[in-house]
Every structure is written in C-alpha cells, then in structure tokens.
Amino acid sequence: MSPVAIVTGAGAGIGQATARMLYERGHRVLAADVAEEALAWTTEVPDVIPFVGDVSTEGANEAMVAAARKAWGRLDVMVLNAGIARRTHWTADDAVEAFDRIMAVNARGVVLGIRHGAPAIAESGGGAIVVVGSTSGVRADPERFAYDASKAAAINAARAAALDWAIRGVRVNVMAPGPTMTGILQGGRVSAEHLAELTRNIPLQRMGTPEEQAEAICFLASPAASFITGAVLMCDGGVTAQAGIFPPPLKENA
C-alpha cells in the first residue's frame, strides 16, 4: 500500500518541491497551504489533494489529518514546513505583534502538527515527522529575533517529540535549510550585489535549491533513516560549520 504524507506550506518553494518529490516516489500526498491559489498546481497531479488552512490553529491541523485519513485510511509521513519570516526591530511599534504571529505559525504550528499527526502515524504502525527548521534556529541573525526564536522553539519541540513518540514508532527529525533560492531571494526583490555578498559567505559558494532541501526531507522521512530520530540535519552549504561574521540583513529593492 502506498504511504500517505501531509506537507504543510506546500504552495511554493521547499514545501511544493517536497510534496512533488514524495508523490514521485510513491506517496499519496495532502498538500496544505494557507493560500488556496498557491495550491493550483495540485490539479495537475493525481493522488495529491489540496487542503487550505492556517497551521497556527488547532482546527486546521485536526482537519488536515482527518482529511488524509478519510481519503486514504492512514497517515505515514508529516512534513511540517509552513513558516513565515520578516524583519523585526526590537523597538518597532508592531514588534510584539510580529513576534506573536511568527511564533504562532513557526512554533505553535509545529506543536499542533505533531499533536495531531503523531497519534495518526502511530495508529498506522509508525512513520516519520520532519520539521523544517532553519540555520536561524541554531544561531542568530540581525533584525530577525522573532524568526530566530520561533525556529529554535520548533527545533527543540521536535527533539522533545522524538523522545515522547519513539515508543510508538514515530520518528521526529528536523531538516534545517540554509540560504535557498526561494521567496525573498527570488524575483528581483533582493539586489544582485546583496545576493553576491550572501553567496560569498556560504562555503559551497552558491545557494541551495528547493529540490536539494526536499531531498534531505525525503531522506529523513524514508526507511533509509529508520534509526534516526531527534536529529537536526543541516542542509546549508556549510554555513553553520564556520565561525565568522555573517552579512548584514537582506534589504529588499525599493
């Protein structure tokens, strides 16, 4: 029987690449995103069901797990990829509001995903949860305190879940991507000069691709990683292996 996977934040970037890759490797996939239009790609792919919902809410997490089980009778893999990022200044008028929203999606969303996904995976005989963290969860970035805090929380929540759910056959791991050509780094929103500066600070001297990140996620979700749980896999081109000064925060073009 083909395994069943849920991927959150599947509308674009790493999430979409992961959902497509899991499907290509034999999974039936529920692709979840907060933006309905971002899931239009699923209409072209059989055995991929779109699901629209906000992962920061308990109702959406409960409903997406129920939808996967209703469609296919089981759940084997859950990839908790949904996340948001933005610059946050400590003294800005909306600093606390921004912090609350980022924590709600990036940390609370992971907790709720595990809360509802792990029991369903255990009932299916065991499987894997992969949390998409970030290098920002193990080090700090300028003008990103809310994002950094949220990813650190997500990483340690995943580690704790790995301990709590191991006895039920549910492995929980983190894939922590480094600079990847998605979102703000695409479409001319960031200057070529700043991209070049950022790239110079990556030991491999290039950005990662969504497909490379998806490969790392699919590995952790697969039987090839059957004795790995509670781990944080860095897929960052060597960024966290080095000591030194990181480039200043990205500035969007005017």
Would you give the end-to-end CA distance of the chain in angstroms?
52
Angle at 210 between CA 145 and CA 78, to 5 degrees: 80
Choosing from 23, 145, 147, 165, the catalytic residue is 147
**C-alpha distances out from residue 209 to 29, 181, 249, Å:** 21, 6, 20
Is-contact 190 253, C-beta < 8 A?
A: yes
Backbone torsions φ then ψ of 29, nearest 5 degrees: -130, 130
DSSP string, 38-57: GGGGGGGSTTEEEEE--TTS
Give the span between the Cα atoms of 24 and 46, in whole angstroms: 11
Is 23 considered catalytic here?
no
Question: How many angstroms separate the CA atoms of 55 and 66, rounded?
Answer: 14
Tell me if residue 30 falls in helix, strand or coil: strand
Catalytic residues: 147
